[in-house]
Amino acid sequence: MVLERTFSIIKPDATRRNLTGKIIAKFEEGGLRVVASKRIHMTRKQAEGFYAVHKDRPFFGELVDFMISGPVVVQVLEGQNAIARNREIMGATDPKKAAPGSIRAEFAESIGENSVHGSDAPETAKDEIAFFFAGSDIVG
Ligand code: ATP
Ligand code: MG
């Protein structure tokens, strides 16, 4: 077991439905701690930069439009094996395939509007945290 940090976004479909607290409760009940948090409305440039890895996928334009359609909550979560743990708490990308009790099973509207983002590896977690937070913004 290793104490890790991961990056999370509560997406616009969830902020629109006022689900921020219910989603954070899932992280906390799952053993993760919120060590940085801010509510922002991403610019198109930020969303395109953040999702640059997906720029050649057919849903890229739709994904960027969605991510700037309303406010999001960007967070750093800390805990034992936080990267994998967060992805378990989130559930599969497609809510129809997400495990019962996971955030996406309970709250996601579709494969695109799926309520949360979570980093998928230590390197992406580091880069994604640095994309939105300075070291001094994170208080463990
Ligand atoms: P995330 O990166 O948001 O945590 P993920 O790692 O489960 O999700 P990715 O394959 O990285 O999934 O896709 C990034 C995001 O792109 C998804 O969360 C979803 O919002 C959107 N997306 C993925 N596949 C599709 C699709 N087939 N149609 C529409 N949007 C999609
Ligand atoms: Mg991903």
The tens digit of pLDDT for each residue in 7-43 reads 999 999 999 999 999 999 999 999 999 999 999 999 9
- Threshold 0.85, pTM exceeds: yes
Catalytic residues: 117
Tell which one of 114, 116, 128, 129 to mutate to probe ligand 1, the residue whose CB is within 8 A of the most ligand atoms: 114
Q: Give, in degrees to the nearest 5, the angle at Cα 86 between 85 and 89.
A: 90
Q: Flag whether pLDDT at 135 surpasses 90.
A: yes
**Residue 30 backbone phi and psi in degrees, to 5:** -85, 5
Tell me what the mean pLDDT of segment 39-63 comes to.
98
Q: Flag whether pLDDT at 95 surpasses 90.
A: yes
Ligand 1 near 12 CB (within 6 A)? no
Tell me what the mean pLDDT of segment 111-139 comes to.
98
Query: Which ligand ends up closest to the CA of 66?
Result: 1
CA dihedral of 123, 127, 128, 130, whole degrees rounded to 10: 140
* Confidence band for 1, pLDDT divided at 50, 70 and 90: confident
- pLDDT value of residue 28: 98
Residue 86 CA from chain centroid, whole number: 9
**Ligand 2 geometric centre to CA of 140 (Å):** 25
